[in-house]
Structure 1
């Protein structure tokens, strides 16, 4: 009996020495978890009986218990090194076998996959081409290709225009004329422009010419700038649930019943403003109806309740003349000169003082403020867009500014001029008395579409990037995805006119040039970001972590990894820093949780136990030898 007892103690102490030695050997192994031997005593017993011998039969090793306590976290210089702060295991793909580890010494292999030192691939949640994470789990891969360029489709400009700024030098004439209603077309007439040198220019207007056409003809003349607008009103009686309103050939079928919280007029106003009719906007007339504005001065084709006979629309033309220019109107058969005091522009024309210096981007005296930003074409080439702001005379109690736009010093206005070249892009910003942007060219959305920009190279030649799509060719907002032209939107919805200095509060656009991979970052939630030389970053994926109901049941298989067993239960895989899962510390590693001091003490104890059990065997041998020596 004593021999067996001693032998069992030797075996148990030997296992204890082995486990302690293994812990000491791996005291510097990243992610290693120490183990501890658990012993149990032995007593003789039989079937349905605990036996009658109260003397024990020795000791046995019940289990080698793993300690999954947190190890210390140390920092490294490798951006892909990761440490788990809390519960969880990295999920690794070992050629189809799934393993779990706390060792986060990772790098990138030749195929771009994130792997550990044994070429096991790190598992994570995949991201699509736009960086949106999905719930699909797979091998995390770093795309080392260049980041493709993205053309600019939206430019956000949040500015403050100083309301204290005055209108630039006032000297000259601003003429406003009113076009008769569509059912009472304009008469044939000649608009005569008199210049200071005594020369005259006659502009012939044919009968029935639209306001937009008159403005276009005047814009061709030197020292003359003209814009037009057409306005019509739909009364409340013309907007009924279940009815149809037609605007510029587009039918708006008013639903019946109307959505809760809206009136038929409110529904129609929203529908028109959200429609592809970029030059048409709708506002309330304060009496249950709507006012429709065509910002270019073209005739409005309207129909409602099946009748068009009662529809009245008015076109207005605003003409800005350079210093000492005069404008007059006469019948083609009337030989009167432009200096005749009877001259006027169309019916109901009026004149008001205006600033004399016509906008010139090369002359800082002709604009109040300017700001520039960088945008990108479809090839990733950068271009400079400049927005110029000019304070306009106050009219009708509203404060107005004119915004001019140029790209690389070139005009981008649509429609094109007589020679097919882009016209000057000018937009009128109206502000409420509270300094809030009310509309741009009558459109309350606060945005403008740039639809006539042809990207050029440094020599002024087309650079091969996607070109414009004009309004006449079907250009619309929002910009289609994927975009098919160089068109983009300038959004000024947050622009204000307060009594403080001009300032650019925010100016951002969504385009960028091509970029090369310059580095990787990992967030606390395990999201892997790629950084590129163009300043952009993109989400490549998110590291997955696994947890088990019984981590002690995992089976160690070497290389500081474990595999799932029946005792551990199935893994629960999720995103870091969610639920009970820990967070990720980038450029860090979790050290072994072995307490070297405690292991050295335990080594002494194991050695002492081994020696003591050996002494038991030695003593039993001496006793046995004494018996054998009896005569």
Structure 2
């Protein structure tokens, strides 16, 4: 019987060596959780058995994973390298629709060809949907969606308003009085002829797809103060691309044809008298625009006619072009935000965190990834930094929780156990041979 007792000890020591060796081998694996082999003694019993009997060896009870925090966080310069400080697992899916759910502590995520965020196994990182302010709109595993980072921003905004503040020189002449327009020539505005207007100001406006179009306003002085009137008048003609916008509109919102310029009036002190407030121009459709562009122009009360040069103090518009991805950030609460070159920010979702009543019961799948089982219980999902879930750190990776010193000591102990059981078998063999030779 001693042969079998020692043999069970040998197998137990061998299993212990295998578990320890696996821990040592994965000391550099991100998010790896060490295991521990638990053993029990074998004792045969019956109703007629004596109170004190010799045991029959050792048996493996379980190999239990230790879900303690990793030994540290390795800093990274990648925003999609994520680590959980505290309890919980990242939720991943084997397909984009949320099937084949798995759980991992390895936060080395990347982006595939379709701009989906995936782990080292190619599984898709799952997030909870959010609104424009970052608030979660749906919870639970059924609401999870695969995180995708758009390369371009689809949030282009067409320009609808121009605000301008300028100074028109009080000493400006009238183009109609210039020598080039003396009789028999007739004065006529031509934007390609700088002699037919006084000044111009330009900015860029955007259509519905975020495509830019140059918007140029040409200023022509039409009347200077006289004995009968101290007012000065100007005409402002606005061109969007190659199309002139009219200051008067048809019933359908399009500009009248021919286009009517906007009239500006200043009093003898240079204060603007009209227009006061917003002026809505008819929609103009320049070449290359995705849709007609309707603009509202406002000069405010700070635009003047005074001594000095022509000066545009400010000319702003409210449109936004389509932007390209410039940065991705992940907050401590798991909120993923993408910033684009046009200055817009898009909330993409909140990283989903799963917890289990018995993490040790999870089914190992490799690469620091686990699957739910009957022993682990169902996953309880939620946001990071809430309801006992850990905090997410962006730009960091969780190291394994293997302490190499402890494992080396345990390795020596397992080796000694193996040698001791081997020696016991050798001793039992010697005793048996002695008995046989004696007989």
> Quick check: TM above 0.5?
yes
Q: How far apart are 1:424 and its partner, in Å?
A: 4.1
CA contact (8 A) 1:406 1:425 kept: no
> Aligned residue pairs: how many?
356
Residue 8 of structure 1 deviates from its aligned partner by 1.9
Q: Which residue of 2 aligns with 1:452?
A: 281
**Contact 1:90 / 1:122 at 8 angstroms: preserved in 2?**
yes
User: Aligned runs of 1:54-133 on 2, under 5 Å?
Assistant: 54-71=53-70, 72-95=72-95, 96-126=99-129
Runs (5+) with no aligned partner, structure 2: 171-197, 218-235, 250-254, 267-274, 303-314
2:38 aligned counterpart, secondary structure: strand
Q: 1:142 aligns with which of 145, 149, 157?
A: 149
Q: Determine helix, strand or coil for the equivalent of 1:100.
A: strand
Match of 2:311 in 1: none
> What is the alpha-carbon distance in structure 1 between the residues aligned to residue 158 and residue 298 of structure 2?
14
Distance 1:142 1:547 in 2: 26
For structure 1, the residue ranges without an aligned partner over 5 or more in a row are 160-168, 170-360, 364-371, 387-404, 428-439, 442-447, 468-484, 496-506
**2:42 corresponds to 1:39:** no
Distance in 1 separating the partners of 2:328 and 2:430: 71
Identify the match of residue 262 of structure 2 among 423, 427, 452.
423
- Maintained 8 Å contact 2:333/2:383: yes
Q: Does residue 1:3 correspond to 2:10, yes or no? A: no
Which residue, 202, 205, 208 being the options, matches 1:378? Answer: 208
Distance in 2 between the 1:5 and 1:619 partners?
Answer: 13
Task: Please say if residues 40 and 62 of structure 1, whose CA atoms lie closer than 8 Å, have aligned partners that are also in contact.
Answer: yes
Do the aligned residues in 1 keep the contact of 2:94 with 2:124 (CA within 8 Å)?
Answer: yes
Change (3 A) 1:109 1:463: closer
* Cα separation, partners in 2 of 1:622 and 1:606, compared to 1, 3 Å: same
1:568 maps to what in 2?
376
Identify the match of residue 547 of structure 1 among 339, 355, 371.
355
Distance (Å, rounded) in 2 between the aligned partners of 1:614 and 1:143: 62
**For residue 17 of structure 1, what is the aligned residue in structure 2?**
17
Cα gap change, 1:130 to 1:624, in 2 (>3 Å) = same
After superposition, the C-alpha distances for 1:462-512 in whole angstroms (9 at most, x for unaligned) are: 764655xxxxxxxxxxxxxxxxx62559799xx9xxxxxxxxxxx997531
Give the Cα separation in 1 of the matches to 2:207 and 2:109: 38
Question: Alpha carbons of 1:153 and 1:40: their partners in 2 closer, same or farther (altered >3 Å)?
Answer: farther
Q: 1:385 offset after TM fit, Å?
A: 10
| TM-score, normalising length: structure 1 | 0.49
CA contact (8 A) 2:336 2:351 kept: yes
Q: Structure 1 residues 49 and 67 mapped into 2: Cα distance closer, same or farther (>3 Å)? A: farther
> Aligned partners of 1:8 and 1:465: how far apart in 2?
79
RMSD: 4.2
Q: What's the secondary structure of 2:262's corresponding residue?
A: coil
Q: Which range moves more in the overlay, 107-116 or 123-132?
A: 123-132
Which of 393, 396, 404 pairs up with 1:585? 393
CA distance in 2, matches of 1:127, 1:556: 31
- Matches of 1:49 and 1:508, distance apart in 2: 98
- Could you tell me whether the CA contact under 8 Å between 1:100 and 1:563 is conserved in 2? yes
Report if aligned partners of 1:411, 1:425 keep a CA contact under 8 Å in 2: no
Give 1:2 shift: 2.4
Give matches, 1:242-321, under 5 Å.
Answer: none
Moved more, 89-98 or 604-613: 89-98
SS at match of 2:388: coil
Give the CA deviation at 1:123.
Answer: 1.5
Aligned position for 1:603: 411
Shift of 1:612: 1.1
